[in-house]
């Protein structure tokens, strides 16, 4: 495909703007570490292709930034539907150089931590147990993390604590609080039992240190760092996958520490058995202790978190706005926080008060990205299950009340939860006319007001669909 020159320069200037906004949003340090090496490969059929030099960067950028890149690009060009991150290679003569620099702590200005040769990454002061809102989806992980932290307190220096479980393996999707819980464990121990040595580091930092140690032929010193540790926490171990030497080293370190009754805490985005590129024996060893998953947030938890965060900001946010956000931003807690920050920044700049309309406007791109997640197919499936009718009846011409009503409920939910138009919805319900959909929406609204069972059913379905 040959693109006209003007289109090409269009794309380049869009790309420059997307990068600029990304840099503003995530800050210079993160930008330099993860994003600077991105090169644009091309855009075709609504797909943006971006190259990065290493597999590790590809995984990291895809996981943490590709949704955002897509949303930013979407502001430039409606037709962009997907962002693909590719490894575009680089000579492997100096593997350490391909590693991204660690984000904080030992960057430009040397911190106390590096001077002490402490390899633990800095802890976020906000990530404490006190600031962690507990709900059904995270109660097991939270309780386990607390037990692990408490077991270290009250143990004499050099003493041997009774470990509740070893290792503790926390897993769950992005932005659900894994890092928060690990930092909370570290804070708890550091403030109550400062003589216990706690190391927290991300798996990529672990790899970075290890690769550097190999390069400087200094793996002994690397191992030595872990010898006297009481609690070792490694975050995001899915990134260790596929790197044989690092994996091997990780495994040895791990085994040695477990044998010495040292507490290990691991996090990942998947359960041990689902981790990719990790050897079977490592996987099975990772699952030996307690495996606690953090489930996607529920509406109640999201609202609880928002209320807690709103209290700590200066800005009064009306309950209605919080409820709206808890309904609409269902992906993860990080996005929820981001939404609150944007609203608060915007309101401070414009000097206004927080209103529902204002919030909707400031967050339109975020809301759009979240809306996309519920599809008409899912709604039909859930509603059919709920009312115990066949999925085929969503499309069929049958008009018996027992199927017609659930079908109307499904149409209503499609209108509420997806950005689809009435004709689009009609088409997905066996080619019905848009007036039929409109009628269904009105009918359900009317019935809901009088029929509390129906209203509850719909609320329940909405919550299930939004999670
Ligand atoms: P993960 O490591 O699982 O990707 P994080 O621990 O970084 O997620 O959490 C993302 C953001 O959401 C952090 O700012 C964290 O404080 C916040 N967060 C997540 N879960 C909770 C919770 N239950 N209560 C309060 N804040 C939370
Ligand atoms: Mg994390």
Question: Which is the closest atom of ligand 1 to the Cα of 236?
Answer: 2
Pairwise CA distance, residues 80 & 49, whole Å: 11
Q: Identify the pLDDT of residue 433.
A: 93
Pairwise CA distance, residues 344 & 316, whole Å: 9
Pairwise CA distance, residues 80 & 366, whole Å: 15
**Domain architecture of the chain: domains with CATH:** 5-111 (3.30.300.180), 139-294 (3.40.50.300), 299-372 (1.10.8.60), 376-466 (1.10.1750.10)
Ligand 1 centroid, distance to 25 Cα (angstroms): 18
Distance of alpha carbon 257 from its chain centroid, rounded? 29
Atom 1 (ligand 1) nearest CA: 175
Q: Which has more confidence, 297 or 44?
A: 297
Q: Identify the pLDDT of residue 230.
A: 93
Atom 9 (ligand 1) nearest CA: 177
What percent of the chain lies above the pLDDT cut of 70? Answer: 88
Q: Identify the pLDDT of residue 403.
A: 95
Q: Which ligand is nearest to the CA of 269?
A: 1
Query: In which band, very low, low, confident or very high, does the pLDDT at 390 lie, cut at 50, 70 and 90?
Result: very high
Query: In which band, very low, low, confident or very high, does the pLDDT at 118 lie, cut at 50, 70 and 90?
Result: low
pLDDT digits (tens, 9 = 90+) for 146-204: 999 999 998 877 778 899 999 999 999 989 999 999 999 999 999 999 899 999 999 88
Asked if residue 63 has pLDDT above 50, the reply is yes
pLDDT digits (tens, 9 = 90+) for 361-384: 889 888 876 665 788 999 999 999
**Average pLDDT taken over every residue of the chain:** 84
Query: In which band, very low, low, confident or very high, does the pLDDT at 4 lie, cut at 50, 70 and 90?
Result: low
Q: Which residues of 305-342 are buried (b: 16+ CB within 10 A; e: fewer)?
A: bbeebbeeeeeebeeebbbbbbbbbbbbbebbebbbee
Q: Which has more confidence, 53 or 255?
A: 255
Average pLDDT over residues 323-343: 90
Query: In which band, very low, low, confident or very high, does the pLDDT at 7 lie, cut at 50, 70 and 90?
Result: low
Ligand 2 centroid, distance to 412 Cα (angstroms): 37
pLDDT digits (tens, 9 = 90+) for 277-288: 888 888 888 889
Asked if residue 111 has pLDDT above 50, the reply is no
Query: In which band, very low, low, confident or very high, does the pLDDT at 91 lie, cut at 50, 70 and 90?
Result: very low
Which pairing describes strands 263-268 and 168-172: parallel, antiparallel, or unpaired? parallel
- Strands across the sheet containing 290-294: 198-202, 231-235, 263-268, 168-172, 290-294
Q: Which has more confidence, 367 or 314?
A: 367
Which range (38-52, 77-91, 338-352, 376-390) has the least confidence?
77-91
Average pLDDT over residues 422-427: 93
User: Which residues have CB less than 5 Å away from ligand 2 (the ion)?
Assistant: 178-179
Q: Identify the pLDDT of residue 26.
A: 72
Asked if residue 393 has pLDDT above 60, the reply is yes
Which range (180-194, 215-229, 336-350) has the least confidence?
215-229
Ligand 1 pocket by Cβ (under 6 Å): 127, 131-133, 138, 172, 174-180, 305, 333-334, 337
pLDDT digits (tens, 9 = 90+) for 21-40: 888 877 766 677 678 888 88
Q: Identify the pLDDT of residue 308.
A: 93
Q: Identify the pLDDT of residue 435.
A: 92
């Amino acid at each position: 495909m040959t693109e006209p020159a003007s289109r090409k320069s269009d794309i380049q200037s869009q790309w420059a703007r997307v990068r600029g906004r990304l840099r503003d949003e995530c800050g210079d340090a993160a930008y330099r570490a993860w994003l600077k090496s991105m090169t644009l490969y091309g855009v075709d059929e609504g797909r943006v292709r971006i190259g990065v030099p290493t597999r590790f960067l590809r995984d990291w950028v895809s996981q943490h930034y590709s949704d955002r890149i897509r949303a930013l690009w979407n502001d430039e060009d409606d037709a962009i539907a997907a962002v693909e991150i590719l490894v575009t290679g680089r000579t492997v003569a100096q593997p350490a150089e391909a590693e991204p620099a660690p984000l904080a702590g030992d960057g430009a200005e040397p911190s106390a931590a590096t001077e002490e040769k402490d390899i633990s990454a800095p802890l976020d002061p906000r990530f404490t147990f006190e600031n962690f809102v507990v709900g059904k989806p995270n109660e097991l992980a939270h309780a386990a993390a607390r037990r692990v932290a408490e077991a270290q307190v009250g143990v004499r220096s050099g003493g041997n604590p009774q470990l509740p479980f070893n290792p503790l393996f926390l897993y769950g999707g992005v932005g659900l609080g894994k890092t928060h819980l690990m930092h909370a464990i570290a804070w708890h121990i550091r403030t109550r039992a400062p003589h216990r040595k706690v190391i927290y580091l991300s798996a990529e930092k672990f790899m970075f240190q290890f690769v550097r140690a190999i390069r400087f032929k200094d793996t002994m010193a690397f191992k030595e760092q872990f010898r006297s540790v009481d609690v070792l926490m490694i975050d995001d171990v899915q990134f260790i996958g596929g790197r044989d030497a690092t994996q091997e080293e990780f495994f040895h370190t791990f085994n040695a520490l477990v044998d010495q009754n040292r507490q290990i805490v691991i996090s990942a985005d998947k359960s041990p058995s689902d981790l990719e590129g990790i050897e079977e024996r490592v996987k099975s060893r990772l699952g030996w202790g307690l495996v606690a998953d953090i489930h996607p947030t529920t509406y109640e938890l999201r609202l609880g978190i928002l209320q807690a965060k709103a209290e700590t900001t200066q800005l009064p946010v009306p309950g209605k706005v919080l409820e709206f956000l808890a309904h609409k931003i269902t992906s993860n807690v990080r996005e929820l926080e981001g939404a609150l920050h944007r609203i608060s920044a915007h309101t401070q700049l414009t000097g206004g008060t927080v209103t529902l309309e204002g919030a909707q406007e400031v967050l339109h791109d975020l809301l759009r990205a979240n809306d996309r997640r519920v599809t008409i197919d899912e709604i039909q499936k859930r509603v059919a299950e709920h009312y115990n009718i066949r999925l085929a009846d969503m499309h069929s011409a049958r008009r018996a009340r027992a199927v017609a009503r659930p079908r109307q409920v499904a149409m209503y939910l499609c209108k509420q939860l997806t950005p689809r138009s009435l004709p689009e919805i009609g088409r997905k319900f066996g080619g019905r006319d848009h007036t039929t959909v409109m009628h269904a929406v009105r009918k359900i609204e009317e019935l809901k007001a009088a029929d509390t069972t129906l209203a509850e059913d719909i609320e329940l379905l909405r919550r299930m669909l939004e999670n």
